[in-house]
Amino acid sequence: MSQLLPRGARKHEAGFALIIVLWMLVLTSFLVALLAASGRTELRITGNLVANAEAAAAADGAIYQAVLKLLDPQAELRWPLDGAVHQLSIGDCTVEVRLLDEAGRINPNLASPALLEALLRTIGRDQQSARQLAAAIDDWVGNTPERQSPAVLAEYRQSGRDYGPPGAPLQSLDELNDIVGMTPETVAALKPHLSLFAPALPNPAHADPIVAAALAIITQSGAPASILPTQPSDNRTARIAVIALGPNNAVVARTAIVKVGPAQPQGYAVIGWISSSD
């Protein structure tokens, strides 16, 4: 025969069971809230990924639309390489496009030491250090036979480097940091005026004020006319810089270097992509 519990014990047991039920309800509510929050986070992440992908696709599409504008057979509809902002709507994205003449920049792989020195002076280096740095760049890219001379190698050793000039073209503008005598500040000041895709001689018509000032120094120094720019050819090298603004505040930037002209099989060729550091 089962023994009946005293009334007080039964109340205590019922109270304990109620506490367990309440705790279970709290735990269940917590788990439901956690799962809901996790679901909302995953939805936000998925939404952001989709928005970024949409903006990236719009940026890539804008680059090719800009190429078509460069090739437009109607001259009055053709986009010039003047840096003006053109706005496009692609899908749910707004894209800003700028076209610049890459020939307006200086190519450190091809420029003469005199032009590099003038550019360095224009960004604030004194004449002596500008000349030394211009010679060091010339050594680095292999335009100087003495690049591996004992004096040059000793200069690199004294600066704590275990290498000398490779005698090969720069693969990236960041490589300028490896040249003896360079400082991060000087490289940062040079980069906006340099391009590894530019010709040996800048086009003064599309040069920025710093490059134009460097060209003026060359002219005033009485340099031979042969080192000064000639008329631009039918083949142009354009820098197409785009910024795509998509849904969910997505922002994607792209910069392509494109050769345009009759020398290209399809009228154009994408020859490079520029990272943000360049």
pLDDT digit string, tens, across residues 95-130 = 999 999 999 999 999 999 999 999 999 999 999 999
Q: What average pLDDT does the chain have?
A: 84
Do the Cβ atoms of 199 and 115 come closer than 8 Å? no
What's the pLDDT at 49? 81
pLDDT-derived band at 229 (thresholds 50, 70, 90) equals: very low
Indicate the pTM of the whole model.
0.75
Percent residues over pLDDT 70 in the chain: 76
What's the pLDDT at 274? 85
What is the spatial distance between Cα 277 and Cα 252, in angstroms, rounded to a whole number? 15
What's the pLDDT at 128? 96
The residue-averaged pLDDT of 226-231 equals 46
Q: Determine the distance from the C-alpha atom of residue 75 to the mean position of all C-alpha atoms in its chain, rounded to a whole number.
A: 30
Q: Phi first, then psi: what are they for 86, rounded to 5°?
A: -110, 135
Say if residue 92's pLDDT is above 50. yes
Hey, what are 153's tokens? Answer: 């190698």
What's the pLDDT at 268? 92
Say if residue 162's pLDDT is above 60. yes
What is the spatial distance between Cα 40 and Cα 199, in angstroms, rounded to a whole number? 53
What is the spatial distance between Cα 130 and Cα 136, in angstroms, rounded to a whole number? 10
pLDDT-derived band at 81 (thresholds 50, 70, 90) equals: very high
What's the pLDDT at 219? 87
As a dihedral over the C-alpha atoms of residue 123, residue 129, residue 132, residue 137, rounded to 10 degrees, the angle is -30
Please, where are the H alpha helices in the chain?
7-70, 113-122, 127-141, 150-158, 184-190, 209-220
The residue-averaged pLDDT of 36-41 equals 64
Tell me how far apart the 2 most distant CA atoms of the chain are, in Å. 123
The residue-averaged pLDDT of 187-216 equals 94
Distances (CA, A) of 214 to 120, 122, 227: 8, 6, 13
The residue-averaged pLDDT of 45-70 equals 87
Distances (CA, A) of 224 to 4, 124, 218, 262: 118, 25, 9, 31
DSSP secondary structure letter of residue 106: B
Polymer length in residues for the chain: 278
Say if residue 5's pLDDT is above 50. no
What's the pLDDT at 62? 94
Do the Cβ atoms of 236 and 243 come closer than 8 Å? no
What is the spatial distance between Cα 169 and Cα 134, in angstroms, rounded to a whole number? 14
Hey, what are 55's tokens? Answer: 């903006």
Do the Cβ atoms of 258 and 268 come closer than 8 Å? yes
The residue-averaged pLDDT of 238-266 equals 92
Hey, what are 217's tokens? Answer: 């120094």
Higher-confidence residue of 120 and 45: namely: 120
